[in-house]
Structure 1
Amino acid sequence: MIDVIVIGGGPAGLAGAIACASFGLKVKVIDEFIKPGGRLLGQLHQEPSGEWWNGIKESERLHQEAKRLSVDICCGVSVYNLEKEEHLWNVHTSSGTLEAPFVLVATGAAEYPIPLPGWTLPGVMSIGAAQVMTNVHRVQVGKKGIIIGANILAFAILNELQLAGIKVDRVILPEKSPLSQKAGEPEAVMKSLLNAAHLAPSPLLRIGSHVMKNNRMRKIGLNFYPKNGMKVSGTPLQLRKAALEIIGKDRVEGIRAADIDANGNVIAGSETIYEADFVCIAGGLYPLAELAAVAGCPFQYIPELGGHVPHHSETMETPLDGLFVAGNITGIESGKIAMAQGTTAGLSIAKYAGKKSETIDQQLQQAIQNVRTVRRQATIQFNPKIDSGRNKMRELWGSLYFSTQR
């Protein structure tokens, strides 16, 4: 009999499986991709310390440790339903139904789409798809591309595309609309990027970013922002340029763009055509939490965490007995934090499963503290107010659930 089913073989799922298996629990990991690792498989970047973060190597390390502990990893299998029947969870998959008293949902995140005319042409992809094609499948997505959307994820993957020898001609904004929302507003974009200004390759950009954090100076800066943009890792970031349409007959041939004012409004008569053979749309990430919803887990909308997230405690349990969550399903953060959360969830499951140990409570508290430490030391925060979002969830859990458990 399986003790724990882990849905998602990314950093959170693998770390959770390892923690569970280290206490002797029989664990099965299910992932729809062809190999375990999740988003780790596409990550490759140099940190401010000078060290390289190689996601492929990290995923291999986790994979080998899980195999050493006899974790059963099944790839190429999708989960479409999750329901509780008496004391067991039924996990319905493309390969049949599985049963276990404990389930860890670690499904990660998905990308927000930003629809615009021409986005169905061959050669248009999400920025995450470009990362996977380049770093996982070793496929060159094109020779000259344009990124539509300026956010932390876009610039992280921009560097990875450049490392692979792929030219990104420019980064511009999507046209301001109800669908693009703040992604099409220069001031909102600049404000979000300032939270990662410490990563800017130029000392001038780093110094200037401190000035721009002042609201008045930021508005002045946008009004005088260079028309040709400012270079980030050699690629122009054009905050005053928006994509109106992706053009091409049978595949991407370029984009039609226009100048925009500081509020994101298109300036009439300023349209320009830029040639490109691929386009990446960067809309940002949101928690991929549908399975938790199908299971009946209550949700809360917390923008600081990236959207709707399932109710959960710091020990990663949900209000549903035997159901745990970890990783980006609980809020958009880095792979390192996802791993720390996965370990916390695994220890919590082991405790609930009755795996008595003199040190399990201490290990669990250390794991919770480690999540906080890793978060505090994180180089990149996808949502700058992540601590505020985590506090909201902590307060919600304390007010709604803790009192009922005593």
Structure 2
Amino acid sequence: MKYSDTVIIGAGPAGLSAAITCAKHGVKVTVIDEFIKPGGRLLGQLHEEKKDVWWNGIKEADALYEEALKHNVDIHLETSVYNIEKSDQWLTETSNGDWRSPCLLLATGAAESPLSLPGWTLPGVMSIGAAQVMTNVHRVKVGKKGVIIGINPLTMAIARELQLAGIEIQGIYFPPYDQNLKHSETPEQTLADMKRMAHLAPSPLLRFGSKLLSTKWMREKAIQYYPKKGFSIWGIPLHFNKGVTEITGEQKADGIFYSSIDPYGKLNTEEQFFLETDFVCMSGGLYPLAELAAIAGCPFYLIPELGGHVPLHNETMKTPIEKLFVAGNITGIESAKIAIVQGETAGLSITQALYGSSKGLDKQITDSIEKQRNTRKEALIQFHPAIQQGREKIQKLWRHYHTPLPT
């Protein structure tokens, strides 16, 4: 049995940032991650934030890793956690031995929401995140030409990354719409969400045109009279008025069938078109990867604005379970920059839990929370349009959870 002052599960931006912060304050830190490299989702990220300013996730991950090693953080990769439990201390059971620690931080990140339609299990069909990792981390082309099903901020960023790797993206299409699924959006709703990314559009015409989509009526008309060939972004056709109905192939994916779709998600299946392709990416968005928080007994709430079910926590990244902390996408889907700041906040809160409050440490925590808010306000890409409302909801739930019942 090994001992550490705090165990951090997840070596992504939140976990590494928290580890660095803890170590700087004299905390003995152990970081555990199942992947072969540290960095989490940072490893696949490569996008232009504004003209000639690029976010290179691999470089950011390397910088965090080197900083962590400089401060003697104990990092264990290729190590799976299969159980956590609390007695007088936290017990973390892994494929590489067990640890005891007074504090535990869950920085497990996010997973992709699947999309299902006929043919989605064929070889050559993959999640958009898998394509990103294969391309940017392993330097393997997923194919010569292919399509993406699903329109969201993640799609747009990764489509550009695949294109820069020399892969032809034949088009981005709408997925099948299911009115029974709460996470399923109509083309009109998706267009409203994507309008928030207009400042990143590669042409002045697209940036200007997006300003005309401020009302629901204008968005409905835009989809109704959308060009048959779609709008081209970086030379990639973007189809808000076409939905994929089937992926075809015998041994592997070799094409798609698609139909026109109205602003409310209704497909015109009487008229179908075929496009030959050699791979298909599915993009259903991300949700918090929070199973370990459930094992720990942390209460959960469904908050769509944060991407799904999230463990209850406050702005200092504490949960209602004693000395259990969370940071990063487990708390809601946002950018890596926000995850890094949340990790910093969690690291300070862990230090406070171990060593007690002090005027200087309390101020650092307050400043870090304010840094979270400012980073969120300045974020160029938001995965969910009402992220701030989601954050306010979870804080309201936290206050309600800790309000004593009347006697």
Alignment TM class, shorter chain as reference: over 0.9
8 Å CA contact 1:173–1:184 kept in 2: the answer is no
Q: Which residue of 2 aligns with 1:146?
A: 147
Cα displacement string for residues 320-371 of structure 1 (whole angstroms, at most 9, x for unaligned residues): 0010000000000000000000000000100110166552111111111111
Structure 2 residues not aligned, in runs of 5+? none
Question: Offset at 1:268?
Answer: 3.7
Structure-1 separation of matches of 2:107 and 2:292: 10
Cα displacement string for residues 174-204 of structure 1 (whole angstroms, at most 9, x for unaligned residues): 1223577664621121111112112111212
Superposed, which structure 2 residues align to 1:263-274 within 5 Å? Answer: 263-274=264-275
Question: Offset at 1:246?
Answer: 0.8
Structure-2 separation of matches of 1:201 and 1:208: 12
Question: Offset at 1:262?
Answer: 2.4
Q: 1:4 to 1:380 in 2, by over 3 A?
A: same
Cα displacement string for residues 83-132 of structure 1 (whole angstroms, at most 9, x for unaligned residues): 101x2011121223221110000000000001111111111110000000
Q: Which residue of 2 aligns with 1:52?
A: 54
Q: Which residue of 1 aligns with 2:314?
A: 313
Q: Which residue of 2 aligns with 1:222?
A: 223
The TM-score, its normalising length taken from structure 1, stands at: 0.96
8 Å CA contact 1:183–1:283 kept in 2: the answer is no
Q: Which residue of 2 aligns with 1:24?
A: 26
Pairing 1:33–2:35 present: yes
Structure-1 separation of matches of 2:117 and 2:51: 39
Structure-1 separation of matches of 2:250 and 2:115: 21
Structure-2 separation of matches of 1:80 and 1:99: 14
Question: Offset at 1:71?
Answer: 0.6
Identity %: 54
Structure-1 separation of matches of 2:91 and 2:256: 48
Aligned pair count? 403
Structure-2 separation of matches of 1:324 and 1:355: 16
What is the DSSP-based 3-state SS (H/G/I as helix, E as strand, rest coil) of the residue aligned with 1:66?
Answer: helix
Cα displacement string for residues 124-159 of structure 1 (whole angstroms, at most 9, x for unaligned residues): 110000000000000001000100001100001011
Pairing 1:6–2:8 present: yes
8 Å CA contact 1:115–1:179 kept in 2: the answer is no
Superposed, which structure 2 residues align to 1:161-310 within 5 Å? Answer: 161-177=162-178, 183=184, 185-310=186-311
Q: 1:171 to 1:362 in 2, by over 3 A?
A: same
Q: 1:112 to 1:342 in 2, by over 3 A?
A: same
Q: 1:60 to 1:403 in 2, by over 3 A?
A: farther
Q: Which residue of 1 aligns with 2:67?
A: 65
Structure-1 separation of matches of 2:141 and 2:69: 32
Q: Which residue of 2 aligns with 1:83?
A: 85
Q: Which amino acid aligns with 2:178?
A: S
Question: Offset at 1:253?
Answer: 0.6
Pairing 1:43–2:77 present: no
Structure-1 separation of matches of 2:24 and 2:404: 31
Q: Which residue of 1 aligns with 2:379?
A: 378
8 Å CA contact 1:114–1:180 kept in 2: the answer is no
8 Å CA contact 2:149–2:172 kept in 1: the answer is yes
The TM-score, its normalising length taken from structure 2, stands at: 0.96
Q: Which residue of 1 aligns with 2:367?
A: 366
Q: Which residue of 1 aligns with 2:102?
A: 101
Structure-1 separation of matches of 2:296 and 2:217: 47
Q: Which amino acid aligns with 1:81?
A: N
Q: Which amino acid aligns with 1:63?
A: Y
8 Å CA contact 2:33–2:77 kept in 1: the answer is yes
8 Å CA contact 1:114–1:179 kept in 2: the answer is no
Question: Offset at 1:402?
Answer: 6.6
Cα displacement string for residues 53-99 of structure 1 (whole angstroms, at most 9, x for unaligned residues): 111111011101111111111011111221101x2011121223221
